[in-house]
């Protein structure tokens, strides 16, 4: 394999690893937020739900870019 091809392969796999690391960081933060960001049910307001819907749409767009079928948000 020539040098340019090896560079391309390295870039490809590095990009994939960085995407997975970023998604894991986001997933962990959503699943287990720091105490300062946790909300009691009575503290949840409409903008909180809107933010989650927007984030979900961005993730679906990313899936579309990569050719991955994603699940629609059901709320």
Asked if the model's pLDDT at residue 75 lies above 80, the reply is no
Which residues touch 59 (CB under 8 Å, ≥6 apart)? Answer: 70
DSSP string, 14-49: HHHHHHHHHHHHHHHHHHS--GGG---GGG--HHHH
Predicted TM-score (pTM) of this structure: 0.76
Confidence at residue 73, expressed as pLDDT on a 0 to 100 scale = 83
* pLDDT (tens digit per residue) in 8-61: 999 999 999 999 999 999 999 999 999 998 999 999 999 999 999 999 999 999
CA 60 – CA 55 distance, rounded (Å): 9
Scanning the structure block, which residue is given the tokens 């079928």? 69
């Amino acid at each position: 394999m020539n040098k340019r091809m090896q560079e391309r392969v390295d870039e490809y796999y590095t990009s994939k690893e960085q995407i997975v690391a970023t998604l894991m960081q986001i997933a962990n933060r959503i699943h287990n937020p720091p105490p300062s960001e946790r909300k009691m049910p009575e503290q949840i307001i409409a903008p909180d739900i809107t933010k989650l819907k927007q984030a979900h749409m961005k993730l679906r767009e990313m899936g579309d870019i990569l050719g991955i079928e994603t699940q629609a948000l059901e709320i």
